[in-house]
Amino acid sequence: MPPEPANNPDPRRFEVSKATLWFDRFMGWAIRFGGIGVIIAVFGIFWFIGKEVIPLFKPGAVVKAASVTSGTTPVILGVDEWGEMPFFYSGGNKVVFVDGETGARSEREVPGLEGQEITASSYDPLQRRIALGLEDGRVGSFIVGYERLFENGEPKGVKPFITAEPWFELKNAGGPVTAISYGDAGPTRIMAVKTAEGKVEVIRLGLKGGLVGGKKLSVTAEVDITPQISGEVALIRASQNGQMVLVADKVGKVSYFLADTQGVTKRQEFTPFGGQGLAQMDFLFGGVSAILTAEDGTQEQWSLFRKTEDAERLFGMTKDFPDVGDGRVTFAKSQRNRTFLTGAGRGLSIRHSTSGVVRWEGTVDIDPAAAILDAKGESFWIASETGEARKFEIKDHHPDAGVQAFFGKVWYEGGAGPVYQWQSTGGSDDFEAKLSLVPLIFGSLKGTAYALLFAIPVALLAAVFSAAFLPADVKRIVKPTMEIMSSLPSVVLGFLAGLWLAPILADRVPSVMMLVILIPFSALLVGYVWCRMPLAFRNRFEGGNEWMIVIPFLALAAWIGWSVGPLVEKMFFVYVEPGTGKRIADFSLWWPQATGTSFQQRNSLVLGFIMGFAVIPVIFTIAEDALSNVPKNLTAAASALGANRWQVVWTVMLPVASSGIFSALMIGFGRAVGETMIMVMATGNTPITEWNLFSGMRTLSANLAVELPEAPDGSTHYRTLFLGAIVLFAMTFVLNTIAEILRQRLREKNKLV
Amino acid sequence: MSSEISKKQPRPDFIRVEDFSFHYGEKQAIFDIDMAIPENEITALIGPSGCGKSTLLRNMNRMNDLIDGVRHEGDIRLDGVSLYDPSVEVISLRKRVGMVFQKYNPFAKSIYENVVFSLRVAGRNGKKELDETVERSLRDAALWDEVKDRLHDSAFGLSGGQQQRLCIARAIANRPEILLMDEPCAALDPLATLKIEELITTLKNRYTIVIVTHNMEQATRCSDRTAFLYMGKLIEYGKTVQVFENPKEEQTESYITGRFS
Ligand SMILES: Nc1ncnc2c1ncn2[C@@H]1O[C@H](COP(=O)(O)OP(=O)(O)OP(=O)(O)O)[C@@H](O)[C@H]1O
Ligand SMILES: [Mg+2]
């Protein structure tokens, strides 16, 4: 017998031990700390990305930074690349330099004049070259250079100097030169000249010379183009690529001449403002576009492009800028991008040609007669006829960014119309960045759509099969296998897709088509025949093991499909070579010919298939759990009421598990949208916007992975990539929110009390 | 239906359990049970918890097939035909042998849809037939008056007892021949229990009922025969009056008098 319980039991039995209390308190704080830490981390990420992206949408700003006086009336205004010491050239024999900080003034002689009067001058800020035409018909140039001075290792001030360049005699024309323009592309250069007699000439310069003494710049061709111009010449401009000359006459008719080794040919004549004279005409940076301003202040951009594939490259209007207003028109182009400073009278604005937007607008306190943007685009100088000059600092780090540039259609230089295009970097300095996110958003949607198109049916059917049909012992193998599959590194999948699967599938598209038709069809056929079998025979197989019978038929169907593919190709997908009429049975040639869309080896078909390996296990696992967790007493009730297995699934399991299945789909969607490695390796990464199954795509995530390492920190490109990340996040967020709302509704509807 | 004909002459061994043993994997739950259940009678299965009452009951419509790793020996015959005969279609067997579970389990559907579930899965969707079935079944289950105005509301809006009666209505909607009831009153208050007992007695003429119960009064009140199971074995089986008033076995007596350890 156990001893009787004591009458005065230990009073401490109601106390909680110190250790438990401590542990409880500690865990309380640890959990709080962890939770708050997660929230802080999430907001930290937002803060970081936001910090990178917000500057993209800031408008430009301009502040006055210096004000000096030169005492000369400038025809040409120039400045060093740091914007510190402008020079003023009045068309005479001296160049006046004024220190922007101290106002100190110095002068340099124009070299090689030999006492002749200067009758024409023009300035090319890219080379910092002043081209001159003289009274005696000579043409030439000199370069204004600056040397950086240092004090204690710190840059302090600049020292100007002048470099003389050769002079050339015009052979065909004599007399004073009244207008000149110089275009320099290194080895080939061009000068366009007008003389007092009314002659217009194009002079090509080249490096010629013997072996001794190096090469010498000399005239390689001098072509008189006067006969091809009807009106009285008002403006002439040579392009920076040394190949084009634009000549505008007094009534606003512009003639475009192309100068190459073949000679100088007139390509086009256009009248941008219908008979109205031009106040301004200049090539933009890159030399493919020109900004034209009419006397009434209308401003347009004209660019060279081909209207159709095989047409000539001609000028056409691509953009219409806001009017500059009334007054003397100012123009200065950037030397690093497609920004330009323009205006009329005292009202100035900074505009960007790619997106066609005004970055900044304001008024200044002098009447500008000349203007110049520094080489870095960080400041501009203007000077009035009285010799007053002002420096303004430009705070506009991302002139090529903006809502229009990212999400709108933009007419890029060389294009036949406005398009959505992504091409962030190019081979040359004068490359025009194309920063539309639309093709990337499209790519993400396309990649996700094709991935899910394949994955969702397979994963859901598999989940239903596993949860409702498969015997437990088989399920014990299948489920963990699928879970392991979901942890396959996507780089391995991408590698397989790009290097192994893509080449195989590219050759066997008809086989794949046959598989897509034959496999489901044979499964249905086997199912049909099975139902017609005697019950006694069917009952010999334990419920759920019927798959053993289906497998050999599926394998057979797959084998047949794969083998008859080439035959099908011979019958239906015959490519006829356009020239020879030769017939080739090749789907990858036939598809572009038949549909006009491209066929790429790394295409959506490959992607959808390989993404299946990444997405199917995720959807399968979660959906299977949701279905398996449907209370057994419900499925049992349905079975007891005479529902067959499929009816149990359809009427009981699916409705109850629907919210879980929805979650599975959303997680699968998230996986597909965010998937990067497979997208990088299997899609070809071409940022196109077509749904074509046989072409690739470039997704936002892949774009980030591919381009972020090469984007300079803080550049427009870099920040745009982060904008892409935000867009990706926003897309997922919106879709997930909608899905979550739907899921809650479903759950409410099928709630089990 | 065969039950209509058989009404005249009830078959004494309508359900025959022959040397039946049943295993859940390694664990044997039923040992060599041999018994005959007559038609149109109410047979009660009693015994301590875990003795195998539910297992035996669930074997009568092969619901245990849904559990993995189960195995049986011996046979159960329904009207002379083995349930395990290869020619037996399990689905139609379950249509003949309806079941009410220990815990009520309506579907997340309306009352109406719950009742007509068995008709719908059989592909019978005629509105008239469904409406008639709903009214008949609910009347039989003594629920009609309580729910007739809210047939299309969710079944979860009903009380526990009502839900259990709904499950009974659902089970008899397709007019099975046999009704298996596993502690149908376990979750109910005395009033609801009484209603269900009344219901069971009224159903008796039309159905063969096997009912599992822990309630001795219930067994005496509404059953014709009683089987006492203990640790998977059939200890005693006979007329209810005899089993309760004059048990042959000592174990039976201690159990029904509550002197069971
Ligand atoms: N699915 C199962 N898997 C394994 N063992 C089971 C399973 N179901 C029941 N058992 C076991 O079989 C034995 C009989 O169980 P059963 O459910 O038939 O008892 P019962 O008589 O209905 O008890 P109760 O009165 O508590 O409902 C018990 O020991 C139980 O543990
Ligand atoms: Mg039980």
Tens-digit pLDDT profile for residues A518-542: 999 999 999 899 888 888 888 877 6
Q: Do A641 and B167 touch (CB under 8 A)?
A: no
The pLDDT tens digits for B97-135 are 999 998 889 998 999 999 999 999 999 999 999 999 999
Total Cβ atoms within 10 A of residue A609 = 19
From the list B61, B101, B122, the residue facing A637 with the nearest CB is: B101
Q: Decide: B25 and B206 in contact? Cβ < 8 Å.
A: no
A549-577: average pLDDT: 90
Q: Decide: A161 and A110 in contact? Cβ < 8 Å.
A: no
Regarding beta strands B178-182 and B208-212, do their DSSP bridges make them parallel or antiparallel, or are they unpaired? Answer: parallel
Residue B6 confidence (pLDDT) above 50? no
The pLDDT tens digits for A306-334 are 988 888 899 999 999 999 988 899 999 99
Q: What are phi and psi of A292, to 5 degrees?
A: -120, 135
Compute, in angstroms, the gap from residue A559 CA to the centroid of ligand 2: 52
From the CA of A752, how many Å to the nearest CA of chain B?
6
State residue A190's pLDDT score: 92
Residues A369 and A508 both lie in one domain: no
Q: What percent of chain A has pLDDT over 70?
A: 98
From the CA of B249, how many Å to the nearest CA of chain A?
32
For ligand 1, atom 12, name the residue with the nearest CA.
B29
CA distance B202 to A664: 49
Q: Decide: A441 and A727 in contact? Cβ < 8 Å.
A: yes
The residue type found at B71 is R
Q: Decide: A373 and A335 in contact? Cβ < 8 Å.
A: yes
Residues A385 and A468 both lie in one domain: no
Residues with Cβ < 8 Å from A24, sequence gap 6 or more?
Answer: none
Domain residue ranges of chain B, discontinuous segments joined by +:
2-256
A194-217: average pLDDT: 80
For residue A216, give the CATH number of its domain. Answer: 2.130.10.10
Residue A298 confidence (pLDDT) above 90? yes
Pinpoint the alpha helices (H) of A89-198: none
The pLDDT tens digits for A108-160 are 999 888 888 899 999 999 899 999 999 888 899 999 999 999 988 888 889 99
CA distance A276 to A290: 17
Q: Decide: B206 and B178 in contact? Cβ < 8 Å.
A: no
Which residues does chain A have within 8 Å of residue B174's beta carbon, measured at their own beta carbons?
Answer: 641-642
Q: pTM of the prediction?
A: 0.85
For ligand 1, atom 11, name the residue with the nearest CA.
B29
Total Cβ atoms within 10 A of residue A485 = 17
Residue B2 confidence (pLDDT) above 60? no
Residues A401 and A445 both lie in one domain: no
Residues A488 and A611 both lie in one domain: yes
The pLDDT tens digits for A465-506 are 999 888 888 889 999 998 888 888 989 999 999 899 999 988
Q: Which ligand is nearest to the CA of B56?
A: 1
CATH code, B2-256: 3.40.50.300
Compute, in angstroms, the gap from residue B40 CA to the centroid of ligand 2: 23
Which residues does chain B have within 8 Å of residue A641's beta carbon, measured at their own beta carbons?
Answer: 94-95, 98, 117-118, 121, 170-171, 174
The answer to whether residue A729 sits within a structural domain is no
State residue A1's pLDDT score: 52
Q: Decide: A338 and A353 in contact? Cβ < 8 Å.
A: yes
CA atoms within 13 A on the CB side of A570: 5
For residue A600, give the CATH number of its domain. Answer: 1.10.3720
Place of tokens 């017609």: A532
Domain total in chain A = 2
Q: Decide: A700 and A727 in contact? Cβ < 8 Å.
A: yes
Q: Which atom of ligand 1 is nearest to the CA of B70?
A: 3
Residues A144 and A266 both lie in one domain: yes
Residues A349 and A310 both lie in one domain: yes
For residue B159, what pLDDT band results from cuts at 50, 70 and 90?
A: confident
CA atoms within 13 A on the CB side of B47: 26
Residues A218 and A266 both lie in one domain: yes
Residues A498 and A537 both lie in one domain: yes
CA distance A373 to B59: 93
Q: Quote the mean pLDDT of chain B.
A: 89
Compute, in angstroms, the gap from residue B49 CA to the centroid of ligand 1: 8
Q: What percent of chain A has pLDDT over 90?
A: 52
CA distance A538 to A717: 65
For residue A6, what pLDDT band results from cuts at 50, 70 and 90?
A: low
Regarding beta strands A379-384 and A368-373, do their DSSP bridges make them parallel or antiparallel, or are they unpaired? Answer: antiparallel
CA distance A691 to A694: 9
A158-180: average pLDDT: 88
Tokens encoding A484: 């392991």
Q: Decide: A513 and A568 in contact? Cβ < 8 Å.
A: yes
Residues A327 and A444 both lie in one domain: no
Total Cβ atoms within 10 A of residue A215 = 12
The pLDDT tens digits for A22-37 are 999 999 999 999 999 9
Residues A481 and A367 both lie in one domain: no
Compute, in angstroms, the gap from residue B101 CA to the centroid of ligand 2: 9
DSSP state of B252: H
Place of tokens 């749904």: A691
Q: Which atom of ligand 1 is nearest to the CA of B27?
A: 5
Residues with Cβ < 8 Å from A216, sequence gap 6 or more?
Answer: A166, A207, A208, A209
For residue A210, what pLDDT band results from cuts at 50, 70 and 90?
A: low
Residue B40 confidence (pLDDT) above 70? yes
State residue B8's pLDDT score: 59
From the CA of B91, how many Å to the nearest CA of chain A?
5
Tokens encoding B177: 């021949």
Q: Decide: A100 and A380 in contact? Cβ < 8 Å.
A: no
Q: What angle do CA A389, A393, A397 make, to 5 degrees?
A: 150
The pLDDT tens digits for A696-738 are 899 999 999 999 999 999 899 999 999 999 999 999 889 889 8
The residue type found at A550 is V
Q: What are phi and psi of A496, to 5 degrees?
A: -60, -45
Q: Which of A411, A441, A401 is nearest to A718 (CA)?
A: A401
Tokens encoding A444: 């993400």
The answer to whether residue A32 sits within a structural domain is no
**Side-by-side strand order, sheet with B42-46:** B97-100, B178-182, B208-212, B42-46, B225-230, B233-239
- Name the packing angle between helices A654-674 and A438-468 (round to 10°): 140
DSSP letters along A377-399, please?
SSEEEEEETTSEEEEEEEE-S-T
Residue B261 confidence (pLDDT) above 50? no
For chain B, first and last CA: distance in Å?
46
Q: What percent of chain B has pLDDT over 70?
A: 96
State residue A172's pLDDT score: 77
CA distance A325 to A732: 46
Q: Which of B177, B23, B163 is nearest to B99 (CA)?
A: B177
Q: Which residues have their alpha-adjacent CB atom under 5 A from ion ligand 2?
A: B 54
Residues with Cβ < 8 Å from A59, sequence gap 6 or more?
Answer: A359, A360, A396
Three-state DSSP state, A709 = helix
Q: Decide: A701 and A676 in contact? Cβ < 8 Å.
A: yes
Q: Which ligand is nearest to the CA of B27?
A: 1
The pLDDT tens digits for A410-449 are 999 988 899 999 998 887 878 888 999 999 999 999 999 9
Residues A541 and A622 both lie in one domain: yes
The pLDDT tens digits for A665-685 are 999 998 898 888 999 998 888
CA distance A97 to A570: 78
The pLDDT tens digits for A251-265 are 889 999 998 888 889
The residue type found at A734 is V
Residues with Cβ < 8 Å from A738, sequence gap 6 or more?
Answer: none
- Name the packing angle between helices B127-140 and B190-203 (round to 10°): 120
The answer to whether residue A424 sits within a structural domain is no
For residue B3, what pLDDT band results from cuts at 50, 70 and 90?
A: very low
Q: Do A633 and B103 touch (CB under 8 A)?
A: yes
Q: Which ligand is nearest to the CA of B28?
A: 1
A81-105: average pLDDT: 90
The answer to whether residue A742 sits within a structural domain is yes
Compute, in angstroms, the gap from residue B235 CA to the centroid of ligand 1: 17
DSSP state of A312: -
Q: Is B30 in the pocket of ligand 1 (CB under 6 A)?
A: no
State residue A91's pLDDT score: 87
Instruction: Give the range of the structural domain holding residue A677, as residue numbers without chain letter.
Output: 438-707+734-749
Q: How many residues does chain B have?
A: 261
Q: What are phi and psi of A303, to 5 degrees?
A: -130, 160
Q: Do B167 and A637 touch (CB under 8 A)?
A: yes
Total Cβ atoms within 10 A of residue B53 = 26
Regarding beta strands B97-100 and B178-182, do their DSSP bridges make them parallel or antiparallel, or are they unpaired? Answer: parallel
The answer to whether residue A166 sits within a structural domain is yes
Taking any CB pair shorter than 8 Å as contact, residues of chain A touching chain B are: 471-473, 535-537, 539-540, 543, 631, 633-644, 647, 651-652, 655-656, 749-753
Residue A654 confidence (pLDDT) above 50? yes
Which residues does chain B have within 8 Å of residue A473's beta carbon, measured at their own beta carbons?
Answer: 68
State residue A376's pLDDT score: 86
Residue B163 confidence (pLDDT) above 80? yes
Q: Which residue has the higher pLDDT, A457 or B196?
A: A457
ipTM score: 0.90
